[in-house]
Chain A
Amino acid sequence: MIKLYDYELSVNCYKVRLLLNFLLVPHKLHSIDFFPGWEHKSEWFREINPLGHIPVIDDEGFLLRDSNAILIYLAAKYDQSCRWYPVHEPSRLGEVSQWMMFSEGTTNTASAARLHDSLGYEFDIEACREGAHKLFRVLDEHLWFQEQNGSSWLCSGDDPTLADLVIFPDVILSEEGGISRVGYPAIRRWADRFRHLPDFSLMAGVLPT
């Protein structure tokens, strides 16, 4: 069975839990005492991931780190419909990759602001918030145009993809970092659609619908 080295309040771990639950892949969680214990920096954990980051998965001995890499692997292996990561559709695959790159930005701004405000990480909070708003404006505008073209999701096509999945956690928890979503109506509608998907899973801090 897949083992996920996990911390409940980590957005990157949440991304992996979301996909495992959407795909109904049996898995077990190995909780890392990320905070306050810093177990991800411990000697034993660095043998698993020398970078000292979570999430990491162990799929019957196959170790993989970095949430985007894990998600691509899980989708390619366990999503027979190729819905989440459309490997056979080059243009959509390109779009998904583009937004997965974009999510690095939202994680490093919106979710960094949240780590600052909740766990006391020393970041330049104003720069994080400003950066997040810049990206949210791009996201909001894109989603508005998607809606005008009859599409509910970030990429073309009828189904949500990993693009939506990786950006959703940074967006839905943004208020914990003092980033209001009041000015982004298209983002709010999109996040709501995402929360209503079948087999959607919650994390602490994401309110039930």
Chain B
Amino acid sequence: MVEKRCEDPVIRDLWHPVAAVPDVVDRGPIRTQLLGETLTVQSKEGGDICVTEEAVQGTGASVDGVSLTPTLPTLQKFGFVWTSLGSPPDSLFDIPEFQESDRWYENSGSFRVHTSAGRAVENFLDLAHFPFVHEGYLGERPYTEVKDYSVATKEGEIWANGCEFYQPIAAVSATEGQVTQYSYRLAHPFCPLLYKTSPLNRERFDVIGIFVQPMTEERACAHQFLCLLDESNDDATIKRFQAVIFGQDKPILENQVPKRLPLEPRAETPIRADKTSIQYRRWLYDLGISYGVVRGSSPEQISVT
């Protein structure tokens, strides 16, 4: 299948995650896709990492037999390599907790899913599915009620505050069920972050999130990260927990129709889409994003499952 070239200037200008730094350094070069283009991510002498577009490799001029393949803008942050197909802003958003020395930060896997980046983000924002999809982990029937909470846009980001939910095992470090308090932060159209009460210190929050890479309009890669106060659990146990959560979400996500995220605000049906996701879709709409979404579709094309 030939992907049509992405003409959406808004999404082309964003920074997008394309690989975890250790994957590139230890097992590179890595081939991946971004907005339908095939990219190669590889490390260079001196620790730099460069990203090139396959379509233009070898087409550049060469000097003394060395081809001059134009490289894409690149930065490394939060353990990932980020790039852009357009003119990205000078910097990427920040996660202040990332700097706190008593935290444990790790990328916990880059998982691909056959749906749009927007669908993957929306699933991450959706509290209501926890007791059904992650029963025994992040939720438990009959505790299915989502309490009311507030959603607001501030400084170009979306924040949802005051979410509460009963969870049997909120994280690996939990020893008993707890009412977990959440805040959601959308720091970037495809980077949702979740702040939740730490089972170890109820005054502080664990931060987890996904940086979603739109590979094509209907395929995405969710790069997971964890920024936790957990000191007792080993890597493999925590990563297993994350893999289980992802594995449970995957078939649900892949069965959603259409794969692209419907944005038309008026056509929104409130059955599944909660307040945060309504706000999220509206935000993408207002930003003018057209790639991987359905804009201005007729209402019957919208099915929220």
**A interface with B by C-beta (< 8 Å):** 7-9, 30-33, 35-39, 117-120, 122, 175-176, 178, 203-205, 207
A-facing mask of B20-42, CB < 8 A → 1, else 0?
Answer: 10110011000110000000000
Q: Top 3 closest A-B pairs, CB basis?
A: A204-B247, A31-B236, A33-B236
**B120 at the A/B interface (Cβ < 8 Å)?**
no
Return the contact of B254 from the options A8, A35, A175 (Cβ within 8 A): A175
Among A7, A9, A178, chain B packs the most CB atoms within 10 A around the CB of: A9
The complex places the Cα of A132 from the Cα of B275 at a distance, in Å, of 42
Return the contact of A120 from the options B22, B221, B235 (Cβ within 8 A): B221
Of B52-60, B146-154, B238-246, B296-304, the one contacting chain A is B238-246
Please give me the residue from chain A that is nearest to B113 by CB atom: A118
Q: Are A176 and B251 in contact (CB under 8 A)?
A: yes
A-facing mask of B101-136, CB < 8 A → 1, else 0?
Answer: 000000111111110000000000000000000000
Q: Are B240 and A120 in contact (CB under 8 A)?
A: no
Q: Are A32 and B236 in contact (CB under 8 A)?
A: yes
Q: Are B235 and A118 in contact (CB under 8 A)?
A: no
Q: Are A120 and B112 in contact (CB under 8 A)?
A: yes
**B87 at the A/B interface (Cβ < 8 Å)?**
no
B74 to chain A, nearest CB (A): 19
Q: Are A122 and B236 in contact (CB under 8 A)?
A: no
Q: Are A118 and B111 in contact (CB under 8 A)?
A: yes
Are A207 and B114 CB-contacts (below 8 A) given A31-B236, A35-B109?
Answer: no
**B232 at the A/B interface (Cβ < 8 Å)?**
no
The complex places the Cα of A178 from the Cα of B218 at a distance, in Å, of 13
Are A8 and B243 CB-contacts (below 8 A) given A36-B23, A175-B251, A175-B254?
Answer: yes
Return the contact of B244 from the options A117, A122, A204, A207 (Cβ within 8 A): A204
Q: Are B247 and A203 in contact (CB under 8 A)?
A: yes
Are A204 and B239 CB-contacts (below 8 A) given A117-B112, A118-B113?
Answer: no
The complex places the Cα of A175 from the Cα of B221 at a distance, in Å, of 17
**B91 at the A/B interface (Cβ < 8 Å)?**
no
Are A176 and B254 CB-contacts (below 8 A) given A8-B247, A120-B221, A204-B244?
Answer: yes
Are A205 and B109 CB-contacts (below 8 A) given A33-B239, A117-B114?
Answer: no
Q: Which A residues lie within 8 Å of B240 (CB)?
A: 7-8, 31
> Size band of the B side of the interface?
20 to 34
Q: Are A37 and B235 in contact (CB under 8 A)?
A: yes
The complex places the Cα of A30 from the Cα of B237 at a distance, in Å, of 9
**B248 at the A/B interface (Cβ < 8 Å)?**
yes
**B interface with A by C-beta (< 8 Å):** 20, 22-23, 26-27, 31-32, 107-114, 221, 235-237, 239-240, 243-248, 250-251, 254
A30 to chain B, nearest CB (A): 8
A129 to chain B, nearest CB (A): 13
Q: Which A residues lie within 8 Å of B113 (CB)?
A: 118
The complex places the Cα of A205 from the Cα of B243 at a distance, in Å, of 10
Q: Are A122 and B243 in contact (CB under 8 A)?
A: no
Return the contact of B239 from the options A37, A118, A176, A178 (Cβ within 8 A): A37
Q: Are A178 and B243 in contact (CB under 8 A)?
A: no
Q: Are B221 and A9 in contact (CB under 8 A)?
A: no
Please give me the residue from chain A that is nearest to B33 by CB atom: A120
Q: Are B235 and A9 in contact (CB under 8 A)?
A: no
Q: Which B residues lie within 8 Å of A35 (CB)?
A: 109, 239, 243
Q: Are A204 and B248 in contact (CB under 8 A)?
A: yes
Please give me the residue from chain A that is nearest to B239 by CB atom: A33
Among B31, B32, B110, B236, chain A packs the most CB atoms within 10 A around the CB of: B236
Return the contact of B111 from the options A31, A39, A119, A122 (Cβ within 8 A): A119
26 A–B contacts, CB within 8 A, in A order: A7-B243, A8-B243, A8-B247, A31-B240, A33-B235, A36-B20, A36-B22, A36-B107, A36-B108, A37-B235, A37-B236, A39-B236, A117-B112, A118-B111, A118-B112, A118-B113, A119-B111, A119-B112, A120-B110, A120-B221, A122-B31, A176-B254, A178-B114, A204-B246, A204-B250, A205-B248
